[in-house]
Amino acid sequence: MHRLHAYPDIRAMFRRLLIASLTGVLAALAVALFRHAMYWLEWLFLDNQSGSLVNAASALAPWRRALTPALGGAAAGLLLWGWQRLNQQRPHAPTDYMEALETNDGRFDYGASLVKSLASLLVVASGSAIGREGAMVLLAALAASFFARRFTPKSEWKLWIACGAAAGMASAYHAPLAGSLFIAEILFGTLMLASLGPVVIAAVVALLTTRLLSPGAAQLYQVNFSGELNGLDYALILATGLLAGLCGPVLMALMRYSHTLFLRLKLSPPLQLALGGLIVGLLSLLTPKVWGNGYSVVQAFLLEPPLLSMIAGVFLCKLLAVLASSGSGAPGGVFTPTLFVGLATGMLFARLIGLWVPDAEIALLLGLAGMASLLAATTHAPIMAALMVCEMTGQYLLLPALLIACVVASVLSRTLRHDSIYGEHTAEHRQVDVLR
């Protein structure tokens, strides 16, 4: 049988697995460092010890709730703008792990990447509706790259960056298998088949290290769902996948349009990020749930799905906040905000059809299906998306149905819009990346 790639010998394989384990530990430490720095800033500036930005926003006076994200955005913009002015004459390597994996040798601009992560820390801790996990994964990949450049041959640098990114995903989302598939599906072509072993090892070790550092729940989200799926449930989950396949391209188009609007204003980075933060702050006067990446709102919805009017109101405000934060160029990820949009879309659909199909758990079921299928529609990685939701919630019973919905959503979305959200997000930030 013809093999696509030759596998390394036993000694080289054990060496790689050892380095993969070390990479997992380094990635988990990098993620923990960012998480604790974020909590420290929230305690220092917001007097918040709950770990929830929604709780922090609820406790603030209205004027502080409106201005805090704007001040955080301005501080991040000043940091990025100042770094650009100091280094504008110096050639730059990539500041993103996806770009680094596309280069010949996998080099990083360490200084610029750290500044970018610090700027992300500022906007995340001040309430902007952007994902904190993007910076976590970047720091994990940076730590892996820094180690690899000193202790491994140049030909392996890309492998260890990929391992670091997968380990960062596993540590941030408690999903080692989905983190590995994130590399296999989204970054397919940059790794040999034989390299997936170290990627999985790094991801699993990162999760174990994270649990050792922060003992707690095994899953990221706590979900109370019981019962077997019937034929009607499968049909509704499939319908949710079709809906997500239509909504995914719309969400990506809205993000692109929002970014274009901010570019047309021709503002400096501090003013542009401050404006995005101010929009989030003003929206938080309507509901404090727009603060943050959406984690606490997702958890609250999963524990007790709200009524149609509440879902619709929070969904609209949160969507506008995400578009403002992402469009303004706030450094951070769009992964977790996409999970919230998918959850809300699925629950809205469930509440609407609940008039004809009364079921106490239908909102929760279709909310989970919406999370997975919209993630698949925007990333074009259906297997990763389905497994990610199962690992985050512990609901492996749903895996067969979610796989079908995710494949349908991904195929429909790819038919309507070729690029994934990562292609869109990277292309947008290349235009105004003030670190270059």
pLDDT for 385-413, tens place per residue?
999 999 999 888 999 999 999 999 999 99
Residue 5: partners with Cβ closer than 8 Å, 6 or more residues away: 192, 193, 194
Of 162, 179, 213, which residue sits at a domain end?
Answer: 213
Other CB atoms within 10 Å distance of the CB of residue 230:
9
In sequence order, what are the beta bridge partners of 343? none
Does 70 share its domain with 179? yes
How many structural domains compose the chain?
Answer: 2
Query: Contact at 8 Å (CB) between 389 and 356?
Result: no
Does 321 share its domain with 426? yes
Does 285 share its domain with 178? no
Specify the pLDDT at position 215.
74
Of 167, 183, 213, which residue sits at a domain end?
Answer: 213
Specify the pLDDT at position 74.
95
**Based on C-alpha coordinates, what's the Rg of the chain?**
21
255 assigned to some structural domain: yes
Specify the pLDDT at position 357.
61
Specify the pLDDT at position 358.
61
Specify the pLDDT at position 341.
95
Q: What is the pLDDT of residues 53-75, one digit of tens each?
A: 888 899 899 999 999 999 999 99
Does 144 share its domain with 265? no
Q: What is the CATH number of the domain that holds 143?
A: 1.10.3080.10
Run of H or E residues at 390: helix 382-393
Cα gap 396→182, rounded to integer Å? 18
- Segments of the chain with pLDDT less than 50: 1-6, 189-191, 425, 427-436
Give residue 360's identity as a one-letter amino acid code.
A
259 assigned to some structural domain: yes
Other CB atoms within 10 Å distance of the CB of residue 150:
7
In sequence order, what are the beta bridge partners of 105? none
Residue 93's domain comprises 10-213
Does 94 share its domain with 133? yes
Of 178, 213, 248, which residue sits at a domain end?
Answer: 213
Instruction: From 389, 408, 407, select the one nearest 225 (Cα to Cα).
Output: 389
Specify the pLDDT at position 264.
94
